[in-house]
Amino acid sequence: MDRKEKSRRLSITCSILLILLAFFLVERQHISATVRDATIIEENRLPKSHPPRFSPEEVRIGDTIAGMKVLSIQSGTSPMPYFLMELEGELKLKGYYYQGYEGEMYFYPDKTSRERLPQVADNAANLTVRYRFPKEALKVELGDALLGRAEVVIANYTVRYVPDADDQNAQFENGQSYIILGDQKLSFEHERRIKNLTSPKTIHIWERFHTLLLPEQGNVVEKIGLAEYRWKGLDVSLGIRDLWTTYRGKPDFEMLIGNHAGIVRLETVSINERTLYYLEIERDHYDRQESRYNGEMEYEYCLVATFEDAAAALLQQDRQLALTLFISSGTEKLPGAKEMLLELARSWTLPPEDLLMR
């Protein structure tokens, strides 16, 4: 090949490369313009309204979900996928509550209210069914009743969608487990998984249950604490506990009464056409001075009313809610304890059997 032909081919090659380079630059400019235009459209799009069950990738700041305005959004994939969102706006909820022993309220929205709360779609495994309101946030007296129905108006809501979070992999501080995602430190709020949060603006209680309405004439009864009484020289207490089902499909009363205790008698009784359980319990006495169980038996007698719980069904948990009425007689057995409990039960304000299923 002579020098002239080589020069001609080199010239053709350079021309082709220049054409390709020009095409690449034009195409890149076009792509950049398209992305810029899309960004402008995204930034300038009007706020959208989303239903309570929403897809995170479709939500932007300024949108509304269930009528509540989106204030902030954080999302990421490290160390695990998460979507955190703050909303403001009022929602009126109805449901039942129980009172904790520090005066806090545990509120369970009913079915209609649950369906109105913001929730990531297809997130049944991490459904939030219970909200904890500390005593200082209540602005209402819960009184002596441990259980009741209430209407709660909330003024904010925090979506904390972290489907893979588990307190087994959490960090601990002052007895509280938490994880760090982005710039957020998320506590488990006494749950095994991260749940959504809210706080009450107003609370209206219209029904109260699970207390004793005993006459006080002649010092028959003395109230000594929340759900704690002295009656006829005996310690009386009310409680709320989870009653789990054993592998045999029966209520696990041994778990209900706790460690270092045994059931020596278990039978059913009928009160106002309702079936309750009667338990006689022996409990190993704990010597606080010696910090040990000393083998001395103490005697307790208990009535248990059980309730099917919609929250447990939603979380696929095999449990019921148990309301308990205890008499403690110390180290002496109490003859006639069953009859005394049945007498007390006439003043026991039990809720309707379907309260937790509404």
- Do 196 and 224 have their domain in common? no
pLDDT in tens, 220-256: 678 888 999 999 889 999 999 999 998 777 899 999 9
- Looking at 144, 175, 208, the residue that finishes a domain is 208
Within-domain flag for 223 = yes
pLDDT in tens, 176-225: 788 888 888 888 766 677 889 999 999 999 999 999 987 655 556 788 88
- Do 280 and 316 have their domain in common? yes
pLDDT in tens, 152-175: 999 999 999 988 887 667 787 777
DSSP 3-state of 80: coil
Strand ranges of the sheet holding 292-307, from the earlier edge strand across to the other edge: 221-225, 228-231, 234-244, 319-328, 292-307, 274-287, 261-271
Within-domain flag for 34 = no
- Do 169 and 311 have their domain in common? no
- What per-residue confidence (pLDDT) applies to 39? 37
- Do 306 and 289 have their domain in common? yes
- Do 317 and 337 have their domain in common? yes
The DSSP output letter for 235 is: E
pLDDT band at 316 (very low <50, low <70, confident <90, very high): confident
User: Number of structural domains, the chain?
Assistant: 2
**What b/e readout covers 115-138, taking b as 16+ CB neighbours within 10 angstroms?**
eebbbbeeeeebbbbbbbbeeeeb
Residue type, 333: K
| 300 vs 291, higher pLDDT | 300
Q: How far is it, in rounded angstroms, from Cα 103 to Cα 105?
A: 7
- Do 329 and 195 have their domain in common? no
- Do 142 and 234 have their domain in common? no
Domain span including residue 109: 53-208
| CA 301 from centre of chain | 31
- Do 179 and 253 have their domain in common? no
Q: How far is it, in rounded angstroms, from Cα 272 to Cα 126?
A: 38
pLDDT in tens, 93-137: 999 999 998 899 999 999 999 999 999 987 655 688 999 999 999
pTM over 0.75: yes
- What per-residue confidence (pLDDT) applies to 281? 97
The candidate with the shortest Cα–Cα distance to 134, out of 168, 105, 112, 160, is: 105
Q: How far is it, in rounded angstroms, from Cα 288 to Cα 65?
A: 53
DSSP 3-state of 250: coil
Within-domain flag for 203 = yes
- Looking at 208, 235, 253, the residue that finishes a domain is 208
